[in-house]
Every structure is written in structure tokens, then in C-alpha cells.
Amino acid sequence: AQTVTQSQPEMSVQEAETVTLSCTYDTSENNYYLFWYKQPPSRQMILVIRQEAYKQQNATENRFSVNFQKAAKSFSLKISDSQLGDTAMYFCASSGEIQGAQKLVFGQGTRLTINP
Amino acid sequence: EAQVTQNPRYLITVTGKKLTVTCSQNMNHEYMSWYRQDPGLGLRQIYYSMNVEVTDKGDVPEGYKVSRKEKRNFPLILESPSPNQTSLYFCASSLSGTVSSYEQYFGPGTRLTVT
């Protein structure tokens, strides 16, 4: 079974600061993928970044980067130079195959507030 | 524009009154799925469909039904809604249900309140 845990229900930082959101996961899959989704107040789910588990190199998308520690089953998201538009709920998710079907499992979410 | 659409976006109903939330995608995706989002629980899968006429239960299927008669549509049916089904519902689609790397594209969400 896949599980994803986000232990920080809420976080708050000042604009332009760097913030790191934590995520741990558990899976019995050998081939899996990890994602961070952003959900702004509009409620739309937006893919922020994706990491293939077989790749050691950490994924980066502009101001967003991850710290993927496979042995520790940790997948944190770092947001550099945070902006007001980064205010949102962030969900960590893992994707694997269960009985031949794609399975996406989400964490509980972290509500991030960027203060001016 | 490639997208997943859901209707209605907001719905307030009463216990026991059957309702359907529609979901449609225009990307020719094979895989579609329904999730519900509740505070502190994240998103949990209700049902999914690998292709037309192929559906299966997710993690929280009780009280819900689905059908996949056409590739583009995947309606969620609540035959006798109860207050514990008050939630935010998302439909999602993906190119293939057998490849876990494929991104899932989400609809805008439906806020359902059952009184």
C-alpha cells in the first residue's frame, strides 16, 4: 500500500524568503513517481513538479525544487524567493501501479501563506 | 483548450435526493478518476475508469456510483446523498491508466453540501 504524510498543516513566511515543505511516503513499488500539486484559493489543482524515483538528480522548475531522499522516503519541496502568488494549499502525492492501474495517493496537505 | 470540465461547480442539496455530477475531458484520455477532498485528509480516490465500460472502486466508494459509456464522460452519481458526503469533489483524467508517470489533469472541482 502507498501512504503519503505531510506533517506541517500550516506554514507562513515573508515574501522573498525561502520555504521548505516536508513530505514522507511509503510504497512497496520499485517504479514510482512523486509529485507536488498546488491548490490556490481558486481550488484548481496545478502540478508544480514531478520526480521519477529511479532518477537520483533532484527535479527543479524555476523557483521550485525538491530534495528527494529515496532511502529515507522523503520528498520535500523548496520554494525560493517566495511570492504572494505562492499562497496556496500544497499536496504531495505518489503514483504507482496497483493491480495494473495507475494509483495516485495524496498527503493531507500544507497550507502555505506568503505574507507581504 | 485541453481541459477537464465539471458541472455543477456548487451544489446544495438535501439528504436522499439523487444527484449527478458530470465530468468531461477533451484530451482523448483513457483514464479518468474521481476524488473527494476533505480537510486534514487530502484527496482520496472514489472510483476510477481505465477505459470505456471499465470502472473500479477506489479507496472510498461507498455511497457513490459511476459509469463510463463514452470515453470523454465520467459522471459521478450519488443515489441517496447523506451529510457525510459533503465535500469538494474533483474529476481527473490521464492519457493512460497503466503508466504511473503520466500526469493527471484535474477539473475545477465541485463543492457539494448535503443538508
Residue A22 contacts by C-beta under 8 Å, 6 or more apart in sequence? A6, A7, A8, A74, A76, A110
Contact A108 B90 (CB under 8 A): no
Distance CA B26, CA B105 (A): 11
CA-to-CA distance for B67 and B83, rounded, in angstroms?
23
**Dihedral-angle region of residue A54 (phi above 0 means left; psi in -120 to 50 means alpha; beta otherwise):** alpha
Partners of residue B44 in chain A, C-beta under 8 Å: 106
Q: Are A102 and A2 in contact (CB under 8 A)?
A: no
Taking chain A (116 residues) in consecutive chunks of 10 residues, what is each chunk's mean pLDDT? 93 98 92 94 95 92 96 97 98 88 92 97
Candidates A44, A104, A108; nearest CB to B104: A104
Q: Which cell is B110 given?
A: 465541485
Mutation target to probe the B interface, by most B beta carbons within 10 A, among A27, A31, A45 is: A45
DSSP secondary structure letter of residue B73:
B
pLDDT by position in tens, chain B (length 115): 889 999 999 999 999 999 999 999 999 999 999 999 999 999 999 999 999 989 999 999 999 999 999 999 999 999 999 999 999 999 999 998 877 778 899 999 999 999 9
- How many beta carbons lie within 10 A of that of residue B28, not counting itself? 10
Residues 39-98 of B with CB under 8 A from A: 40-45, 48, 50, 56, 88, 90, 92, 94, 96-98
pLDDT in the model for residue A56: 86
Contact assessment for residue A13 and residue A82, using Cβ atoms and an 8 Å cutoff: yes
Q: Which of B51, B100, B101 to mutate to test the interface with A (most CBs of A within 10 A)?
A: B100
pLDDT at residue B87, rounded to an integer: 98
Q: Which chain B residues are within 8 Å of A106, Cβ to Cβ?
A: 35, 42-44
